[in-house]
Structure 1
Amino acid sequence: MFSASTYINRRQQLASSVASGLIFLPGNREAPMNYTDNTYPFRQDSNFRYFAGHNLPDLALTIDAASGASRLWGNDISLDHVVWMGEQPSVAELAKAIGAERGGNLAELSDLLKKQAKEVLFLPPYRAERKTFLKEHLASQLPSELGVGAGASEELVRAVIALRSIKSSEELEQMDIAVRTSMKMHAAAKAHAAPGQLEAEVAGLIEGIAISGNGRLSYPAIVTRNGHVLHNHYHGNTLQKGDLLLIDAGAEAPSGYAGDITRTFSVGAPMTTKQQDIYDIVQKALTDCTAALRPGVSYLSIHLDAGRIITAGLKNLGLMKGDIDEAVAAGAHALFMPHGLGHMIGLDVHDMEDLGEDLVGYDDKVRRSTQFGTRSLRLGRELQAGFVLTVEPGIYFIPALIDQWKADGTCADFINFDALDAYRDFGGIRLEDNVAVTETGYRVLG
C-alpha cells in the first residue's frame, strides 16, 4: 500500500471529476473453487484497490462527489474468524490507513444504496455476483449487461480512466519491481528448459519465482512450443531439442501492479538460420517501435510501423512481395501478426479492460480499425507522458489461417503462399517489453 495521502488525493481528484452523486466502488469477495471454504487465491478489484488500497475481501468504498467524503464499509470479523485467521485489523483501522471515514457494516451499506439508488454511480461489473447485487440494491429494471450507458456511469468510467492512465513515480517503482521479478522468471526458464521436459515443468518454475517475489502471476502463463497459438495455456507437450519455446509470463508485485514479458528461445540448441532470421525481424520491430514512443504519437501509427518492419523482413526472405506500404494498408502483414502491438498495463495486465477497451485505448482522434489484425489493437490513441504499455511484436505461422487465406486469395498480391509450405511447422516468435512513456521519449521498465 501507498501512504494515506496518495489515496486521499486520488479520491479527491475523482470526486472533483464527477458532477454529482454517490460513487460506489465495491471490493471483491472470495470466489470458491468447488466449495465455500476452498477459494481461489484472492485478488482485489483493481478500481477499489486504486482508491482504497486494501487487498482484503468484503469491503466497499463510497465517495460523495459533492463533498468528497469517503467511507469504507465492511463487517468486523467474529471470534470464530479470529480462531482460524488470527487477529485482523478492524474496519475503522483499515479506514484510517487510507484517510477515509468508517462507514457502517455491509447491511447498513445495503440500506444506504437502496435509499439513494437514483444517485449511485458505479462502474461496469465483471462478476455475476456483483451484477446481481447491483440489480437487487439499485433497481430491478436495470438492463442485463449493466455496461457503460446501460446502468454504469460513463462519466465515472471516463474519470477513472483519466486518473489510472497516468502512472505516478511511486506506481512506476512498483511496476519496476513486477518487471524485475518477471525477468527473473524468464531467465530461470531459459536456463532450466531442456529437451525431454514437459512444458509444465518450466511453467511451474516460473510460477514459483512469482510467488517467491511475494506476489503471483499477473495472468496465466503461456509456456508453449506451439507459439503460433496466441493464448496457449496447455503445458502438456514434451520439449524437443531445437524447439522454439515461447514464454509469455509476468509477475504481479505485492502492491498488485503487473509485469507482462514475452521471450522466445530455442531449447537445447542454437537457433537454426531459419529461426534466427524470423527472430531478428521481430527483434528489429521491438527495438524500432520502442524507440518511436513519445508523447503525441498515436500507438496505432507505431503498430503500423511494426507491420512495415515485419513485411520488409519477410519480403527479404521471399515470403512476402510487392509494395510494403500497400501490403500493410491491405492488412497482408496480419497473416503473420494477427494481434495488436500492445496495450496499457498497470494494476491490470490489460489495464482497465473491464471499463471498456475503446474508452481506454481510443478517443475521438483515433478510432478502432475494422481490419483483421489491426482491429485487435487494444491501444491506438495518442500517447501521453505517464502511460505504461506493452510493445509485443510477433511473427507466427498459423497453418489454418494460411490455408484459408490461400483458398480465398486474400492478399495474394503480397504473399508467396507456396514459400510458406516450408514454415508450416515453425510455430511462432513473440518478444515483449513493458515501457513507460516519458516527457521526452520512453523508459523500458525493469
Structure 2
Amino acid sequence: MSLVRNVVWSEGMFIAPQHFQQFDRSLRAYAEGLARLDAWGDDYGFSMLELNAEHLAIGKLSVRRASGLLPDRTYFELDAEQSLDIRDGTVEKTVYLAVPLARLGTTQIGGRRGVHRMLSERVDLHDLSDHRNEPIDAEVSTLGVTLRIEGDDLSGFAVIPVARVLEKTAEGAVVLDRGFIPPSLAIAASDTLMDRLVDIVSLARARAANTGGRIEAIRSSQSPGSFLSERLELEALNRGLFALQNAVAQPATSARKVYGMLGDLTVALEAADAQVADPMLVYDPLDPGHSFDALFTRLRRKLTLQSEASVVALNWNTELFEKRRLLRVVVQPRLLAEGRRPVLSVSSPLGNATLQEIVPQVCKLAGITGIPELVQMGLPGIKLTPLGAAPAELRDKDGAAFFAVDTGSVHWQRFVEKKEALAMHVDDRIPTLTSTLYLLG
C-alpha cells in the first residue's frame, strides 16, 4: 500500500493527533519518492513500470506497478493494479496512464476514478505516540490514476504513454510493440531499453577485448606511435564501458543520462573516421524510443566486429487474408533507420510472368491505417515496380517475382512516420500467394 495518502481536511472534522501523524508520514513519503528520481530539467516519465503479461491473452492491458513523475510535476505511485479492456479491432493505438488535472473551482476529491483527481477512502489511523489510544476512522485520499487509450478525450488529463498496442487479434489477445520505450526517468522502467543496453555493453566489451589483443600483439615490436589509433579506440571503449556497466548496475539511472553515455561513446568512435557529431543526435524526452533507435543503430554498426547479414526477410501475418484479403508485417524502426532497400517477392500458381504484370495493379501496399481508404476509394498505394531479375542478394531465392518498393511514396513516408504495421491488400485476381518482404542492406 502506498504511503502517499493525504489527509482529507474538511469543514467540521474533529482533528486528532493521528491526522497530523498521517500528514507527516504522507509528506515524508512524497519527498522521499521525489528524492529517488534522477530527473533532469522538465523531464517526466516512469521510474518503475511493470505490466501484467498474463492479461494480454484475455484482451486486457494491465499495469501492475508504476511510479514516476507526471507532466504537471506530480509524483505518483500506483496504489493498485489498473486494467483497460482493449476494444475489438484496435490497431496501432497508444495506451496512456492518466490523472485528471488539478483545476480551480472544481471538486478534486471524490470517489469516481477518471473524474476526481484524488480518490477518497476511509481508513483506521493509529496513534504513533501512544499505542494505548484507540485508532480513529479518518478520510484519506490517493492520486486517481487511470488508463486511457488513443482516441479517448485526454484534454482534462496529465498523461504518460505506457505501451503501444499493435493489434487485438481475432482470438482476443493483445499484441504489444516490444520496441516501444515509454518516457522514463529510470532505465529500469523499460525492459526493452535495459535489454538493448546490456547488448551494447556486451558488444563494446568484445570490441575492447579485440582492440586490446591487437595492441598486445604489436606493442613489443613497434613504437607506441605506430598503434596510436588502437590506443585511442581502446580508451574510448573503456570509458564507455565504465559508464554503461555502472548504469546497468544502477537501474535508477535516468534515460537521459544513459543517452548521454551512449552518445559520448558513439561520437568518440566516429571521430576515428573524421566524422563530426550529428546535430540530429538530440534526446527527445517525449519520444525516447525514436532517440534511442537512431543511437543504438549507429553504435551497433561501430561495435560489431563482423558485418551483419545484408538481407533481412520479413514474413507476412496471414490471419486476415482469408476474410479480408489483407497481409500485415511489423518492421522494426531500427531496420528502417538503417536505410535498407525494401524488395517484395511474390509467388503464386499463376506464374512469375503473370505476377509481374498484375501485382502492381491488384496489390495495394501502405501503412495499416491507410489501407481501408485506398481499398474503398480504389486509389493506388505504394508503387511496386517489377524487377526483371532477382536482386544480387536474392539470387538463391528463385521461383518468385520481385518488385522494388518506392520508398519515396507519400504512403511509405506516412508508414515510417506513424511507426505502424505495413499492410498489403490483394484482390481476388490472385487467389493464393506466398510473399516475403526483404530489406537489403
Normalized per residue, the structure richer in helix is 1
- TM-score, normalised relative to structure 2: 0.22
Highest Rg: 1 or 2? 2
- TM-score, normalised relative to structure 1: 0.22
Normalized per residue, the structure richer in strand is 2
